[in-house]
Chain A
Amino acid sequence: MKIPEDRLSPWPERITTGVRTAWPICMAYFPVGMAFGVLAQKAGLSVFQTGAMSLVVFAGSSQFIGVSMLSSGASLMAIAATTFIVNLRHLLMSSSLAPYFRRTSMPFLFLFAYGVTDESFAVNSMRFRDGDWDRWKALIVNHAANVAWVTSSVAGAVSGQFIPQGFMGIDYAMVAMFLGLLVFQLRGRIYLATSLMAGALAVLLSLTMPGNSYVILASLVAATGGFVLSRLVQRKGAHDA
C-alpha cells in the first residue's frame, strides 16, 4: 500500500531536501573521516581496504578502535566483540526511530538501518518530530552522510595527511552539531530535565567507566527518569484539576 506522502513529495524535492539537511553532517564527517584514513594508512592498510571498512562498518569510533586493535594483532573475536559493545547504542536509536517506520517494507528497512548513526539519528528524529519529513528523505540523509564518510576516509588514506591541525576550528564541527541538535530537542521542561540528568550522569560515568558504554547507561537512566517525572507531573496535574 502506498501512503499518501509518497505521492505528495516528488523525487527531486526529496533529494534536494535530503541532501540539504545532511550537509552539516557531511561537513562534520570530513575531518574525522580523513583522520581515520590517515590512521588506517599508517597502520598499513591499503586505500581499498580503508574504503571497504568505512563502507561496510560505517561507525566512526569503532573503526578507529578496530584499526588500532588490528595493528596490535588482536583476534577477529576480540575485534568483533569490542565493535559490538561500542556500537550497541544504535539499538536505542533504531528503537526510537521505529514508530516512524510502521508498515515499511523489509528491503527499505535493510537499506535504512545501514545508515543509522549518532548524527543521522539525531537529525532524522528532529525532522520526523517537526513533521514535513518522510522516510525517503531520511534514507537520503543516511546515505549522503555515508558518501561523505567513505569519501573522506579514502581521501585521508590517499593523501596521508590531516587537514592542517586546528584548521578553522574543524575539530569542533561535530561538537557544534551535537549542541545544535540538542537545543532543537529541548521542547519542554521534561526534555530539559532529561537532558540535564543524562549529561550529568554521562560526565560522572565517563570519568570512571572505560570506553563509551557510559552513553547507553546514562541515556537509559535519564530517559527512564524523565518518563517517571512526566508521569508524576501528569498525576499531580490531574489531582490539581
Chain B
Amino acid sequence: MHDASYFGIVLAMGLVTYLPRWMPLFVLSQRTMPGWLVEWLDLIPVAILSALVFPEVLTSGAPKELDVLQTRSLAAIPTLIFALKTRSLGGTVLVGMVLFWALEKL
C-alpha cells in the first residue's frame, strides 16, 4: 500500500495507543493520591490478569463460547500448582508449554 498513507495510519495508531499509557503516569505521579485510590489501584493488577486469563482458558472460538474442559484449562491446573510451589515465572512458562504440548499429543 502507499507509503505515506500507511505511515499516517501507523502514527495515528501509535498516538491513540500511547496516550492512555502515558496520561495516568503523567497526571497521577505528580500528586499525592488519596488512600482509597491507592488501595483500589492496588487491586487492579490482579483484576486485569484474571480478566485476561480466565476467558483464555475457559472459552474458545470466535465468537467465544464456554468451553470448560479443554486442553488449555486442563494444562492450567498443574501450571498453577507449579507456580504456587516454585514462584518462578520462567519455570512456569516452560512447564505450562510442555504440559500443553503433551496434552495436545494425547
Contact = CB atoms under 8 A, between A and B. Distances in A.
Given A27-B93, A53-B13, A87-B16, A168 B98 contact: yes
Contacts of A45: 1, 6
A88 interface: yes
B60 to A, nearest CB: 11
The range of chain A's interface size is 35 or more
Given A121-B45, A175-B72, 12 more contacts: A45-B6, A49-B6, A94-B20, A95-B24, A109-B26, A122-B48, A175-B53, A176-B93, A184-B87, A185-B45, A199-B51, A218-B51
A219 B75 CA distance: 24
Contacts of B40: 223-224, 227
Contacts of A88: 20
Interface in A168-226: 168-173, 175-186, 190-191, 194-203, 206-207, 210, 214-215, 218-220, 222-224, 226
A83 B16 contact: yes
Per DSSP, chain B at the interface is: helix
A222 B97 contact: no
A133 to B, nearest CB: 14
Nearest to B5: A76
A46 to B, nearest CB: 9
A163 interface: no
B66 A179 contact: no
A76 B54 contact: no
A91 B16 CA distance: 11
B46 A177 contact: no
B11 A66 contact: no
B95 to A, nearest CB: 7
Per DSSP, chain A at the interface is: helix
A185 B87 CA distance: 11
Contacts, number: 293
Interface in B56-97: 56-59, 63-66, 72, 75-76, 79-80, 83-84, 87-90, 92-93, 95-97
Interface in B25-56: 25-29, 33, 36, 38-56
Contacts of A179: 53, 57, 76, 79-80, 83, 92, 96
B50 A194 contact: yes
Given A23-B90, A62-B13, A195-B47, A98 B58 contact: no
Interface stretch (A3-11, A110-118, A145-153, A154-162): A110-118
A202 B55 contact: yes
Contacts of A177: 89, 92-93, 96
